[in-house]
Structure 1
Amino acid sequence: MKVFFLGWTRFVVVLLVLQVGLAGWGAVSGGGERVMRFIAHAGNGGMLIFWLMLSVVFALIARPGWQTVLLTALSAFMILMQGAFAYGFGTSGTLGGVGIALHALNGLGILTLQLIVARRAKRAVDAKRALRAEGVPA
């Protein structure tokens, strides 16, 4: 299950990088095209909420270490906060700008956390393989 969790975590990292790309793609466009591009960003974000909630379950099953599980749970919590940052401060004016800035920073924080989780999951897989190579059942 550790190998599955590693692959799953890498998949989530790819989706997060895509999410940042979709945000940038929407930000550099104008008019109706901008709305359509941000719909792709919002749709991928909705899927990321689901994927990160599943990540917590998979982390609990894979048992890569309690810190890895907690970091995964923190990522899931942070992605739930994304909607509050994007819409909770309004959509215009200074408060809207603050909300969007927090939304962007929180998104980059989620990506960073998931990169750390992927690295920790890789270490767990490597440790399992090392034990198996020594003949110790994992």
Structure 2
Amino acid sequence: MKDGIARTLRALHQGEWQLARHLVAVSERHAEEHEVHHVARDLAAWSREHAGRLAEFAAAEGLRLDDDTREPTSGEGPEGLLLLHDLRALHLAATENSLHWEMLAQAAQATRDERLLELASACHPQTLRQMRWTNTLIKQLSPQALTSL
């Protein structure tokens, strides 16, 4: 198996387990919010299933996902993987910003704050464009970066 694919499988496996744990924690912290509580638990089960399926796939390829191999950080690893790592971080940051713009827009509508709504309406589309740009680059660069190692 190509090293880039193996690293990505490990990162996704770890990410799914982390997401499952986070979803369970949110479910427990907000047990009084029945929708949050139950949906978060269902989504956590999906992530646990995904992690299990990733482990099965990897095992069939002779790869253990629970070893200590970690994903490269800034300054470590092959250039292609570093670029993908950086693009993923940018995409996640833009996604977080997009959610904040959406929350502000919803609050502006609820409070009839035209200035805040105008601000969110002007800026949020650019944040969405940032997300599309990073997503496009990730799609373009992943095949070569992950299979060339």
Give TM-score, length-normalised by structure 2.
0.40
Q: Pick the structure with more helix per residue.
A: 1
